[in-house]
Each structure stands twice: as structure tokens, then as C-alpha cells.
């Protein structure tokens, strides 16, 4: 047995082994399809229509710095920038690639990165690939953040999420902005779990608070509430030019094909029409929280569509997930090392298409 097989065997013994599951039958409390747009027939038809109007190429033929750019791609990015009240937008193939490329390119030796301790793995990987000094602050702790900010040297960049993917809690954006302005720090906010849900047209949490002019850059991810794939970085015009010159995940990747840009263009046109879905999601969140407060268990205090029940221990959390599955309820166990030891949990993702009866069944099964 080689060292890699031994590592796999250790994962199995620790109940840590990952597998690639097929979509299960039953009630969806696990996917990121918060508004049901991944299964939306009307969005599908809009994408087909947009594809018919796009240049006819099956592939991009090269990176955007070689043969893969087009007026069509730039038009889509200009429309994204307008939607987000930003000077520019640059599309990446995924949220992971956007975070990796943006953060690693900004993380120079003259930079200090100050990160919330619960930022996503893709942001962490971008930090690791850079050459900046790295500092973490306690999750959503403004006092600890202010202390770390005072001591930071060089160009300071602050990395947070607007809605955190594991705890489902919300970043104190206004307070962070005030502190960042005081120290001339750049604030970067990952809007992955907020885009599509917050704002009159689903613009994200930052715009819903009318704070887009106060935030240096936003990463907007399309594989969650908006139901498609890809991501974009919205920010000042010079930031797009900087990424084109220094973001390795963009420079050395074949450009997305035109149908990728078409899906994004169609989604942005469709998103303002989803007000009823956003309202249904809000109603389900409120109902779930009422049921949660009346139930037993160690729940994370979240007011969003991500709700987590802490079940310490990898073995124990997997067993609870299996119990739910027997009731045809699909919710994923989140284990160490994805979360800290003792913080293992079942994460429940709420959707516009969940019913009150499904939520009732969930709590009946848990109790």
C-alpha cells in the first residue's frame, strides 16, 4: 500500500471519505439552487434564445489573451458591470477560479491580507498562492478585526463573505467599511450565497444596503441562486485591467465558450423577474426559524437560507444524515476538516420550492 492509498484508508477510518454521489430522490434541503433557477424552464428557454443570437462557435479556441475574446463577451461583462453599479466586470469559469485568480494576483509582498477565519476554501487557496502577509481575525468579531487592522502594514486587503456558507450568518458590512476607510484598506466581499436573493432584483447584499460604492470588489458567483455556472469580479476599471495582466487563472485558461456567456446574459435578464421566488424563500426562512426556536438541538443562529444543526463528531453527523435520508430528506453532513473539530453539522439549505409540510417533516424526524 503506497502513501496515497494509506491516506485514503485513514479517511475511511475517520469517517472522512468523500465520494461523488448521484442526485438522490426525496426532499431537497442540500442544494444551492435556492430559487429553483437551475430547474427553471423559463430560464432554459431564455438561454436558448440568447444562444441563437450569439456568435456561433462551439469553443473559445484559446485564452482571452490569445484567440478567445470577443465583442460579445465584452458586451456581457459591460452589462454585468451596469447591473452591479460597478465600473467593470470580468468573467471567470467558476467562483473558485475567480477567487483564486483575483486574490493570488493582489497578494504581493507589499500587501497584508486580513481574512475572516471562516472565509471559503477558494479564498484561502488564493491567499496561499500569493506572497502577502496573512492575518486572520475571529469570525465577524469587529474588535479583533480592528486590532489586526491597526497592526497591518503595506496595502491592506480585507477578505469576507456577505453570507457565510457554513454558518449562514451575515457579515457586518457597514462597520467593516467604516474601519477599512479609516485605514485605507481595500474590502473584497464574496457574494456567492447572497447574489440572486438580496436586493430588489437579486443584486446581492452589498447593493441591497446601497454600499457598492464603498466596497473595492465583489465576487459574484452564478452556480448557486442564479442556477447556472461561472462567476464575475465587479470593481473599478483598473482592477479588470490588472487581472488581465496578473490573474493566472484567467490568463492561462481557455476562455469560456459563447454559450457560457449566453447563459450569464440570459440569467441577468431573468433575475429581476424572480421577485415572487425571493418572497417564497423569505417565507420559508421565517417559518423554518420559528420551528427551529421551538425545537431542541444546538443550532447556529442564522437568519438566512442556510441553517446549521451542530452535531459533534464525524460518525455522529453521518448517522443523523442517514436517519434523515430514511425519511427521504436530503441534507448533507459537513465534517472535519471542512469545519473545525466539534463543529460538525448538518447544513440545511432552504429553497423557494420547499413546502411548509416538508419543513414540518424535517423537524418531526429530528425530534
Give the pLDDT of residue 336: 84
Q: Regarding the domain delimited by 12-35+274-366, which CATH topology (the fold level of the hierarchy) does it fall under? A: 3.90.1150
CA angle 163, 126, 175 (to 5 degrees): 40
Answer yes or no: is pLDDT of 101 > 90.
yes
Answer yes or no: is pLDDT of 340 > 90.
no
Reported as a single tens digit per residue, the pLDDT across 106-131 is 999 999 999 999 999 999 999 999 99
Mean pLDDT of 166-171: 96
> Is 128 within 8 Å of 150 (Cβ atoms)?
no
Reported as a single tens digit per residue, the pLDDT across 41-91 is 999 999 999 999 898 899 999 999 999 999 999 999 999 999 999 999 999
Answer yes or no: is pLDDT of 337 > 90.
no
If you average pLDDT over every residue of the chain, what do you get? 96
Whole-model pTM: value is 0.95
Give the pLDDT of residue 225: 98
Domain range summary for the chain, segments of one domain joined by +: 12-35+274-366, 42-272
Residue 238: band (very low, low, confident or very high) from pLDDT cuts 50, 70, 90 = very high
Give the pLDDT of residue 210: 98
Give the pLDDT of residue 195: 98
Domain range 42-272, its CATH number among 3.30.300.30, 3.40.640.10, 3.40.50.10470, 3.40.50.2300: 3.40.640.10
Answer yes or no: is pLDDT of 17 > 90.
no
Give the pLDDT of residue 46: 97
User: Beta-carbon neighbour count of residue 198 at 10 Å?
Assistant: 22
Dihedral of the CA atoms 102, 104, 106, 108 (nearest 10)? -170
Give the pLDDT of residue 243: 98
Answer yes or no: is pLDDT of 287 > 90.
yes
Answer yes or no: is pLDDT of 304 > 90.
yes
Give the pLDDT of residue 15: 79
Handedness of CA 27, 31, 32, 37 (dihedral sign): negative
CA distance 250 to 91: 9
Cα distance from N-terminal residue to C-terminal residue, the chain:
44
For the chain, how many residues are written? 367
CA distance 226 to 274: 10
Mean pLDDT of 200-215: 98
Decide whether 12-35+274-366 matches 42-272 in CATH topology: no
Q: Is 62 left (phi over 0), alpha (psi -120 to 50) or beta?
A: left
Answer yes or no: is pLDDT of 33 > 90.
yes
Give the pLDDT of residue 141: 98
Q: In what order do the strands lie in the sheet with 133-137?
A: 88-92, 231-235, 217-221, 186-190, 155-161, 111-116, 133-137
CA distance 339 to 117: 11
DSSP class of 304: S
- Residue recorded with cell 460579445: 72
For residue 225, give the nearest of 304, 132, 312, 109 by alpha carbon. Answer: 304
Answer yes or no: is pLDDT of 273 > 90.
yes
Determine the 3-state secondary structure of 219 from DSSP.
strand
Residue 19: band (very low, low, confident or very high) from pLDDT cuts 50, 70, 90 = confident
User: Beta-carbon neighbour count of residue 79 at 10 Å?
Assistant: 15
> Is 196 within 8 Å of 202 (Cβ atoms)?
yes
Percent of the chain with pLDDT over 70: 100
Answer yes or no: is pLDDT of 226 > 90.
yes
Pairing between β-strand 111-116 and β-strand 155-161 as defined by DSSP bridges: parallel
How many helices and strands, by DSSP H and E, does the chain display?
14, 13
Give the pLDDT of residue 206: 98
Answer yes or no: is pLDDT of 21 > 90.
no
For residue 113, give the nearest of 100, 122, 101, 126 by alpha carbon. Answer: 126
Mean pLDDT of 91-104: 97
Amino acid at each position: 500500500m503506497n502513501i496515497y492509498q494509506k491516506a485514503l484508508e485513514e479517511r475511511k477510518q475517520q469517517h472522512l471519505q468523500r465520494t461523488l454521489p448521484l442526485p438522490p430522490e426525496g426532499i431537497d434541503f442540500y442544494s444551492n439552487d435556492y430559487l429553483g433557477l437551475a430547474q427553471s424552464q423559463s430560464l432554459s428557454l431564455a438561454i436558448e434564445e440568447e444562444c441563437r443570437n450569439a456568435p456561433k462557435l462551439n469553443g473559445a479556441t484559446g485564452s482571452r489573451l490569445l484567440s478567445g475574446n470577443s465583442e460579445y463577451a465584452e458586451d456581457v461583462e459591460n452589462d454585468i458591470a451596469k447591473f452591479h453599479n460597478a465600473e467593470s466586470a470580468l468573467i471567470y469559469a467558476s467562483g473558485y477560479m475567480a477567487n483564486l485568480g483575483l486574490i493570488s494576483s493582489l497578494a504581493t509582498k507589499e500587501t497584508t491580507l486580513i481574512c475572516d477565519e471562516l472565509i471559503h476554501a477558494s479564498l484561502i487557496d488564493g491567499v496561499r498562492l500569493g506572497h502577502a502577509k496573512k492575518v486572520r481575525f475571529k469570525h465577524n468579531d469587529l474588535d479583533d478585526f480592528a486590532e489586526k487592522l491597526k497592526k497591518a502594514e503595506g496595502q491592506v486587503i480585507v477578505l469576507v463573505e456577505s453570507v457565510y456558507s457554513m454558518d449562514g450568518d451575515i457579515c457586518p458590512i457597514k462597520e467593516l467599511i467604516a474601519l477599512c476607510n479609516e485605514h485605507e484598506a481595500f474590502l473584497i466581499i464574496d457574494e456567492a450565497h447572497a447574489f440572486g436573493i438580496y436586493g430588489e432584483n437579486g443584486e446581492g447584499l452589498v447593493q441591497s444596503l446601497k454600499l457598492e460604492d464603498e466596497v473595492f470588489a465583489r465576487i459574484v458567483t452564478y452556480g448557486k441562486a442564479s442556477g447556472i455556472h461561472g462567476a464575475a469580479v465587479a470593481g473599478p476599471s483598473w482592477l479588470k485591467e490588472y487581472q488581465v495582466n496578473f490573474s493566472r487563472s484567467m490568463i492561462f485558461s481557455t476562455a469560456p465558450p459563447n454559450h457560457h456567456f449566453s447563459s450569464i446574459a440570459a440569467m441577468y435578464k431573468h433575475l429581476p423577474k424572480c421577485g415572487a421566488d425571493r418572497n417564497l424563500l423569505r417565507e420559508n426562512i421565517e417559518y423554518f426559524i420559528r420551528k427551529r426556536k421551538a425545537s431542541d438541538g444546538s443550532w447556529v443562529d442564522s437568519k438566512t437560507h442556510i441553517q446549521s444543526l451542530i452535531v459533534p463528531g464525524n460518525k455522529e453527523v453521518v448517522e443523523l444524515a442517514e436517519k434523515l435520508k430514511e425519511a427521504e430528506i436530503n441534507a448533507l453532513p459537513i465534517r472535519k476538516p471542512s469545519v473545525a473539530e466539534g463543529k460538525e453539522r448538518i447544513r440545511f439549505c432552504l429553497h423557494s420550492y420547499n413546502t411548509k409540510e416538508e419543513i414540518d417533516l424535517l423537524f418531526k424526524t429530528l425530534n
